[in-house]
Structure 1
Amino acid sequence: MTRSFILLLSVVPLLVYSATEEALARLQVVTEILPPYQYIEEDKQITGLATQKVKALFSALELSPQILAMPWARAYKIAQTKPDTLIYSIVRTPERESLFQWIGVLLSTKTFLIALQERSDIVINSPADLNKYRIGVKRDDVVYQHLSQYPLSRQMVFLPETETTLKMLIKQRIDIIAASPVHLDFMCKRLDCDSSDFRYLYELKDLNNDFYLAASNTTSKETVQLLRLALAALEKGK
């Protein structure tokens, strides 16, 4: 038993842990490919900045649930309907608050609207200015949900992954995408482009840019509480 887990047991009633052991063994985890936060290595193993934190949490609890990577819309749906299911990296918003049980923050970032450097004609002073351009988004992604408050439905082009939105931007099939600087840099290494090829148009400051680990509402409250305590213990022990 790991030191982190021993410390955790000191603050978690044994009866609560015993009641959740079986549920913990049933846990499954869903996510999307979102490098460098989560991505597949050449050996087919999922890794990344957020994945490493999730795996550290499981290691502290001596668990090894399967982590399934899939398009975001599918992961988002599964995490709302399947018991004993966790999802990451998910942004917490008022619209999503009641849809999940929120375990804790894995990391934070910033999200920008981005265009090709050569597209000097694109000027964005607010999201309302986007109605002139084609915007690459992922269905049920937080950026899509955020921009849906504006009359932009005809401008949105739905794509399965953020990396696909960048490919479409490079091919000039869309005009604007949303990404963080660290995400853009990482994708450019994979797609043989350079971050200097792009221009940051506008920061989506209204977005909560904390990436969470969350659980389906049908996951037991005891399991969620144990995971919250374990994640907090790991963060405290840094």
Structure 2
Amino acid sequence: MSLGEIDSSQSAANQIWVLTHLEPPFSLYDERGNPSGYAVELVKGILTEAGLRQQILAAPWQRILVESELKADVLVFSLARTAEREDNFHWISPITQNAYAVFGRKSLLHNSKISNLEQMPAHSRIAVLAKDFREQVIIDAGHIAVTSSTWQGVLQKFLAGEVDYLFFSDGGIDIICLTIDEPCTDITRVFQYQLATTYLAVSKHGTSAQLVEKLKSAALAFKGSTQYQAMVEHWLTEFKQLNMPKMHEEDGIIKLRAQKNG
């Protein structure tokens, strides 16, 4: 079922909407066409703990953000928690943490000492996911955001030389490079923008405090369960088999980087 196929009778019967943007391997369609992946299983576990059994629907970020702005009781994941979004959502539970960074080509940088967006050449063309918060960051810094509706499309624009830079993440590079045919050996990090955490969040407008507290309590309870630990071990094994050995779980968050020693 896609978001656009929900009619008025369905929405009346299901007051809570649960929406995700597909971002493999954390949320993707399985062989039956249903949302699957680590983040999907985590949210299902939290919903079950809360006594809620709602269908998870996939949609583009633009549609998800519009729905969450206009309607009450819209659960969204995995949503980056940013200063701009802080007051627009109730933040239920963290899901992943990643280092957002700007990338360039090793063959073209020649010992560049760029350390932030302001130091980049004026009007740089930067590839980014459409409607991702980083698109506005690029525009606000005076650069040109070149977008695609999927991260695969974003990366391919960069590899094809259509842009100067790529605004992505360390973990994202590792994941998406496994899904395309082109080599990623010439990609290098220029500078880290920020360490960002994604969340299960719920729309603020009209959502009851009772639902928010129920979801937060359910998230804590589920993440403290043996079921959660088994789920994490299963997915970390899956990630390693996909050549993503850096991922680890800490404090209820899947971190897309190497674990610190000591």
| TM-score normalised by the chain length of structure 1 | 0.78
Aligned to 1:37: 26
SS at match of 1:190: coil
Alignment CA distance shift 1:225-1:129 (3 Å): same
How far does residue 195 in structure 1 lie from its aligned partner after superposition? 4.0
Q: Which moved more, 1:172-181 or 1:136-145?
A: 136-145
Aligned to 2:208: 220
Aligned to 1:138: 129
- Let me know the Cα RMSD of the aligned residues: 2.4
Unmatched 5+ stretches in structure 1: 1-22
Aligned to 1:211: 198
User: Of the candidates 84, 91, 95, which is equivalent to residue 102 of structure 1?
Assistant: 91
SS at match of 2:179: helix
| TM-score normalised by the chain length of structure 2 | 0.72
User: Following the alignment from structure 1 to structure 2, what is the Cα–Cα distance between the partners of residues 24 and 202?
Assistant: 48
Larger relative strand fraction: 2
Code of the aligned partner of 1:227: L
Code of the aligned partner of 1:226: K
Question: In the alignment, is the contact (CA less than 8 A) between 1:76 and 1:140 conserved in 2?
Answer: no
Code of the aligned partner of 1:137: V
Aligned to 2:221: 233
Code of the aligned partner of 2:219: L
Per-residue CA deviations over 1:182-231 (Å, capped at 9, x if unaligned) read 222221121123443411111112xx511111111122221111001110
Aligned to 2:45: 56
Question: In the alignment, is the contact (CA less than 8 A) between 2:123 and 2:142 conserved in 1?
Answer: no
Aligned to 2:180: 191
Percent identical residues: 25
How far does residue 54 in structure 1 lie from its aligned partner after superposition? 1.0
Alignment CA distance shift 1:77-1:25 (3 Å): closer
SS at match of 1:65: coil
Unmatched 5+ stretches in structure 2: 1-11, 230-262
User: Following the alignment from structure 1 to structure 2, what is the Cα–Cα distance between the partners of residues 39 and 222?
Assistant: 30
Per-residue CA deviations over 1:50-98 (Å, capped at 9, x if unaligned) read 2221122123234332222222122111111122211111122222122
Structure 1 residue 69 and structure 2 residue 52: aligned?
no
Per-residue CA deviations over 1:22-62 (Å, capped at 9, x if unaligned) read x9953211221222322223332222332221122123234
Aligned to 1:20: none
How far does residue 166 in structure 1 lie from its aligned partner after superposition? 0.7
Question: In the alignment, is the contact (CA less than 8 A) between 1:71 and 1:161 conserved in 2?
Answer: no
Structure 1 residue 78 and structure 2 residue 67: aligned?
yes
Code of the aligned partner of 2:64: A
User: Following the alignment from structure 2 to structure 1, what is the Cα–Cα distance between the partners of residues 198 and 163?
Assistant: 26
Structure 1 residue 126 and structure 2 residue 80: aligned?
no
User: Following the alignment from structure 1 to structure 2, what is the Cα–Cα distance between the partners of residues 80 and 43?
Assistant: 31
User: Following the alignment from structure 2 to structure 1, what is the Cα–Cα distance between the partners of residues 58 and 163?
Assistant: 25
Higher relative contact order (CA 8 A, sep 6+): 1
